[in-house]
Amino acid sequence: MKHWVFFAASFMVLLSGCCCKFTKKREMKKRDEQVSKDEKQRNWSKIPTQILELILSRLSRADFYRFGEVCTSWRHVFKQSIIYRSPSPLPSMPLLLLYRLHLFNDIKTGLFSLIDRKMYFPRIPFFQGSNLHCLGSINGWLIMIDTNATRLSSSSSNSNHHRFPSFFFWNPIPNARVMLPSRINIPYRANWYKLFSKLKASSGPDSPDCLVAALFTGQHNIAFCRPHDESWNIIYVENNNPNAVFADIELLYGKCYVLTETLNYRNITSILVYDLQESYSSSSPPKAKVLISQLHQQVEYNSPNIRDLIFQNHQLFFYLASDSISGILYLILIIVDYNNVHPIEREFIVYKVDNFNNVPMLVRVMDLNGGILFLSHRDSKIVPSSTLTGHEDLIRGNNIYYAHVYPYTENCPLMPRIVKFCMTSGRINHIPLPNPELGSEPTCLWFNPTIW
């Protein structure tokens, strides 16, 4: 990359060397003129690409785009970097995507930035029409369902035209889509947009190992697929065990982990694992294996604190999260106090699944290996702090940013709450949201837009 500079430099030196004696006296006299002439010659619109690229690689996403609007030659460099996906802008903190479940065709979407704590409304409306819903996100892609897409059922002689939804990955910036199978054989008529309570992807659709797993709302079954499958695969639970209701799912290295709980009182019972990748290669449906059973004994349930809290109008929330870089599966317990006007998060307890004498068990941890966890009811993502740039406080590792819309109570309007939990100090800070004018019951999830 520096060869160009060397060549130009040595060429100029040779040239100047030849002219050295000749111009020496003249240079001394016309020193000032020479300087201002050189200033004009340093025309930044004609600066070599390599230099512009170096500046580009240090810009944040927004500045990256502004770079492309400066002038035509800079725009060319900008466009080339998009085509070749290099240099890329600095990675930044995920934004909180908030949108209101459709009512009366009035969709409002907002993006909340942790950096300046402002709410932004995309100029190009996100979801046009009430038939689009966002079920999850991964690496700059939103996972969407379009409930209006009409597809004939497989038996075309049938006079009933079933409307099947369309599922797809969507990257709003280049407006790219990758379709997921739309065939999903469920034996009942579904309210499509409420079909899945959770949907997670293992990676973006541009990765060959992309797997998508979804948890059915209330039915306690899992569906999974890959972008080029013909239809979704459904795993039916063998027996409807009331003590093994599926509460959460998480993907890690081709396996789907399921957190189960009891129907009443929501005591967590076990973590199951389905080997989805193995199921694809052996073409047989995946079988559940119990990873850890009797979870409630391993969580500090037996500590008198937690038991008392439950009776004192506190609620417990459990989430699974995974770190694909370190290969660690986490279980997060959040204790929420409902005694006040609005719910207040009192404590975050984080466990990781560890092998002790070859037996998997929960181990309480006080750090995320330097990662930052972005958690909401819809998704969980762990981002290594070292890849982020920004204010020290913001990007410090071993923090949890938790966004949640609490169910409606008499005194508490349906506003999402964001809190930041520092694992090292134990402090919980509430991050106020500016009034998003999003009406009631917005859905929120963390979204990190990428340019490609």
Partner 1 sequence: MAQEASSSTSSKTISLKTGDGEIFEIEASAAKQMKTVQRLIDDLGDDITIPLHNVFSKELPKIIEYYKKDITGEITKDFEAEFVKDLNDDEVKVLFLAANYLDANKLFEFLSQNIADRLESKSVEYVRKYFGVENDFTPEEESKLREERAWSFRGIKEDE
Instruction: Kindly tell me which residue out of 2, 239, 339, 393 binds partner 1, with binding defined by CB under 8 A.
Output: 2
Is position 115 an interface residue for partner 1 (rule: CB under 8 A)? yes
Contact indicator for 165, 146 with CB cutoff of 8 Å: yes
Residues 73-112 interacting with partner 1 (rule: CB under 8 A): 74-75, 111
User: For residue 7, how far is the Cα from the chain centroid?
Assistant: 45
User: For residue 375, how far is the Cα from the chain centroid?
Assistant: 9
**How near is the Cβ of 339 to partner 1 at its closest, in Å?**
37
Q: Report the alpha-carbon distance of residue 269 to residue 364 in Å, rounded.
A: 17
Instruction: Kindly tell me which residue out of 69, 106, 392, 410 binds partner 1, with binding defined by CB under 8 A.
Output: 69
Nearer to partner 1, 35 or 366 (CB): 35
Instruction: Kindly tell me which residue out of 76, 79, 118, 162 binds partner 1, with binding defined by CB under 8 A.
Output: 118
**How near is the Cβ of 15 to partner 1 at its closest, in Å?**
8
- Which region among 72-80, 279-287, 331-339, 345-353 touches partner 1 (by CB under 8 A)? 72-80
E strands in 91-163 = 95-100, 109-113, 118-120, 132-138, 141-146
- HSE, CB side, 13 Å, CA atoms: give it for residue 185: 8
Is position 452 an interface residue for partner 1 (rule: CB under 8 A)? no
**How near is the Cβ of 451 to partner 1 at its closest, in Å?**
9
| Residue of 167, 185, 169 lying closest to 177 (CA atoms) | 169
Q: Report the alpha-carbon distance of residue 340 to residue 338 in Å, rounded.
A: 6
**How near is the Cβ of 52 to partner 1 at its closest, in Å?**
10
Instruction: Give the Å distances, CA to CA, from 7 to 2, 13, 14, 47, 95.
Output: 9, 10, 11, 16, 45
Instruction: Kindly tell me which residue out of 21, 36, 83, 123 binds partner 1, with binding defined by CB under 8 A.
Output: 123
Count, residues near partner 1 per rule CB under 8 A: 52
Instruction: Give the Å distances, CA to CA, from 313 to 38, 99, 249.
Output: 74, 29, 27
Site map 19..48 versus partner 1, x via CB under 8 A: -x---x--xx--x--xx--x---xxxx---
Instruction: Kindly tell me which residue out of 36, 83, 124, 156 binds partner 1, with binding defined by CB under 8 A.
Output: 124
Site map 156..195 versus partner 1, x via CB under 8 A: ----------------xx----------------------
Instruction: Kindly tell me which residue out of 18, 36, 67, 333 binds partner 1, with binding defined by CB under 8 A.
Output: 67
Phi then psi for 194, rounded to 5 degrees? -105, 15
Instruction: Give the Å distances, CA to CA, from 86 to 1, 52, 81.
Output: 14, 12, 5
CA dihedral angle for residue 163, residue 238, residue 285, residue 136, rounded to 10 degrees = 50
For 104, residues 6+ apart whose C-beta sits below 8 A from its C-beta are none
Is position 62 an interface residue for partner 1 (rule: CB under 8 A)? yes
Contact indicator for 233, 254 with CB cutoff of 8 Å: no
Nearer to partner 1, 107 or 273 (CB): 107
Where does this chain bind partner 1 (CB under 8 A)? 2, 5-6, 9-10, 12-13, 16-17, 20, 24, 27-28, 31, 34-35, 38, 42-45, 51, 54-55, 58-63, 65-72, 74-75, 111, 113, 115-116, 118, 120, 122-124, 172-173, 449
